[in-house]
Structure 1
Amino acid sequence: MIVIKELSKIYKAKTGHVIGVDKVNLEVHKGEIYGIVGYSGAGKSSLIRCMNILERPTSGKVIVDGVDLLRLSPKGLRKARQSIGMIFQGFYLASAKTVFDNVAFALKAAGIPTEKRKKRVLELLKLVGLSDKAEQYPAQLSGGQKQRVSIARALANNPKVLLCDEATSALDPSTTKSILALLKKINHELGITIVLITHEMEVVKEICDRCAVMQDGKIIEQGATYEIFSNPKEELTKQFIDTVLNFDLPKQLLEQCKGMILQLQFRGDLASDPIVSDMLQAHKVSANILHGKVEYIKEKPLGIFIMELLGDLDEMERARRYVEERLQQVEVIQHAR
């Protein structure tokens, strides 16, 4: 649905040139939710604004639904943008217009007749759960409700693609979950391809099929969200994942432990297999579970457990090798003392 080829965006500054996006290659499949994560200044917002040419790239190609946007005339680009909806962190609602009028604005600009416009607006307000707010003004709404209005407005012209630029960053955790659930519903029921920019790995985990990590204008890692979480390659990716799967043990606890401390990762079906139980039966060791968690990423389990093995040194080593043969990732956090 979206193909980005060797895309660069260079800004002029008093001190010279600043590279916002640096030769990015990216492909977003039709009907998926694709996340782009990075810290502030990584270039992710510049990249998403180049996807609908709100910012014109310095070089490269932007192909949406088979159309090279950079080769279109201004009129052709305006028409193409009708199939690309966009929502922002700051909502950008007209304060003097009602909820109904804010949603209707894009339809009016597209020349949709009044009756059809009214019908479409009411459909959209029902979809986003704001049927009872049609005559209210933005100042009367909560942050989550304002974002629902902006989502409805972005969907007005039946877009094939929805671009979300930090759409949940200004919201509290509970409201964020409700907005993410709405985006999942839109993706599932309407089949709209969604590209989501965020600095929160929890958001990526919650709804993204695939994702990319950006740093200094470049994409440093990308792939299926589950694979990124279970087997990150880059140090920055590991830092982001640690914000969701943080298993740092207190120093005092580590000082008390005398045995071998292992961190075990259980992927997919292995999350429900009795590997630890089998290991304890096969070897003369005992175990203390120090920490553990099972996360579900796209409904697929990823389990991480930290345990202390106690017993004879040779037997603990044999037990470690036993679990290593059955699991893809086993890390020795601390050797027996």
Structure 2
Amino acid sequence: MISVEKVSKEFTSKSGKVIGVDNVSLRIHKGEIYGIVGYSGAGKSTLIRCMNVLERPTSGRVIVDGVDLLGLSSKALRKARLSIGMIFQGFYLVSSKTVFENIAFALKAAGVDKTKRKERVMELLELVGLSDKIDHYPAQLSGGQKQRVSIARALANNPKVLLCDEATSALDPSTTKSILKLLKKINQELGITIVLITHEMEVVKEICNRCAVMQDGRIIEEGPTYELFAEPKRTLTKQFIHSVLDFELPSKLVEACTGRLVQLQFRGKLASEAIVSDMLQQFKVSGNILHGKVEYIQEKPLGIFIMELTGEELEVTSAIRYLEERLEQVEVIQ
């Protein structure tokens, strides 16, 4: 659906050239939700704006649904953009227009007649759950409601792609969850491909099929979201994962432990198997779970536990070897 091929974007400042995107290549499949995560200044917003040529790449190619956007005339590009909706952190609603008028404006600009505009706006308001706010103005709406209007406006012309630039960053956690649930519904019911820019790994975990981690204008790691959570390879990716799966033990607790501390990871169906209890029955060791959590990513469980094993050294070593043979990741902390 979207192919970004060796795209770079340079800006000129008083101090010289600044590289916003540095030779990035990505393939985003039709019908998936793809996340791009990175800290501020990583280049992720510039990259997503290159995908609809709001920022024209300095070099490379951007192909959306088989069309090379950089090879189009200005008129053809404007037409192609009708199939690419976009929502932003700041909503960008016209304060002097009602909810109805804000959504209808996108349809009017596309040449849709008045009768069909009204029908389409009503459909969209029902989809985003705002049918009762049709005559309200943006100042009368909450942040989440404003973003729902922005989503409805972005969907007005039946796009095939929806680009979301930090769409939940200005929202509280509860509202963020409701917006992510709406985006997932749109993806599943309408088959729209969604690209989601964020600096929050929690957002990626909630709805993204695949994701990429961006740093200094480059993609440093990419893959299925579950795999990135289960086995991150780059330091920055590990930092992002750590923000969701926080397993820092208090130093006083660690110092008080007399046994071996091990961190265990349970993937998929292993999360429901009695591997630890079987180990405790087979070996003369005692086990004390100090920390643990099970997250569901793409509806697959990922469990991480830290436990203390005590007993004779040979028994503890044998117990750890037993765990290593049955789990994909066992790390001896001390």
State the TM-score, normalized to the length of structure 2: 1.00
1:118 aligned residue: 118
1:251 aligned residue: 251
2:4 aligned residue: 4
Kindly provide the amino acid, as one letter, of the partner of residue 173 in structure 1: P
1:175 aligned residue: 175
Kindly provide the amino acid, as one letter, of the partner of residue 298 in structure 1: Q
Mind listing any 5+ residue stretches in structure 2 that lack a counterpart?
none
Q: Secondary structure at the match of 1:270?
A: helix
Q: How does 1:233-272 map to 2 (within 5 A)?
A: 233-272=233-272
Q: Secondary structure at the match of 1:249?
A: coil
2:67 aligned residue: 67
RMSD of aligned residue pairs (Cα, Å): 0.4
Deviation at 1:255, TM superposition (A): 1.2
2:306 aligned residue: 306
1:162 aligns with 2:162: yes
1:297 aligns with 2:290: no
Q: Distance in 2 between matches of 1:148 and 1:106?
A: 15
1:232 aligned residue: 232
Q: Distance in 1 between matches of 2:148 and 2:280?
A: 52
2:135 aligned residue: 135
- Displaced runs of 4+ in structure 1, greater than 2 A? none
1:101 aligned residue: 101
1:33 aligned residue: 33
Q: Distance in 1 between matches of 2:108 and 2:161?
A: 20
Deviation at 1:281, TM superposition (A): 1.1
User: What is the percent sequence identity of the aligned residues?
Assistant: 77
CA offsets 1:211-245 (integer angstroms, 9 cap, x no match): 00000000000000000000000000000000000
Q: Distance in 1 between matches of 2:104 and 2:161?
A: 19
CA offsets 1:156-178 (integer angstroms, 9 cap, x no match): 00000000000000000000000
Q: Secondary structure at the match of 2:54?
A: coil
Deviation at 1:88, TM superposition (A): 0.2
Kindly provide the amino acid, as one letter, of the partner of residue 124 in structure 1: L
Kindly provide the amino acid, as one letter, of the partner of residue 77 in structure 2: L
Q: Secondary structure at the match of 2:308?
A: strand
Count how many residue pairs are aligned between Structure 1 and Structure 2.
Answer: 334
Deviation at 1:252, TM superposition (A): 1.1
Q: Distance in 2 between matches of 1:20 and 1:113?
A: 40
1:81 aligned residue: 81
Q: Distance in 1 between matches of 2:41 and 2:111?
A: 38
Q: Distance in 2 between matches of 1:254 and 1:125?
A: 54
1:217 aligns with 2:191: no
Deviation at 1:205, TM superposition (A): 0.2
CA offsets 1:232-289 (integer angstroms, 9 cap, x no match): 0000000000000001001111111100000000000100111101111111101001
Kindly provide the amino acid, as one letter, of the partner of residue 193 in structure 2: T
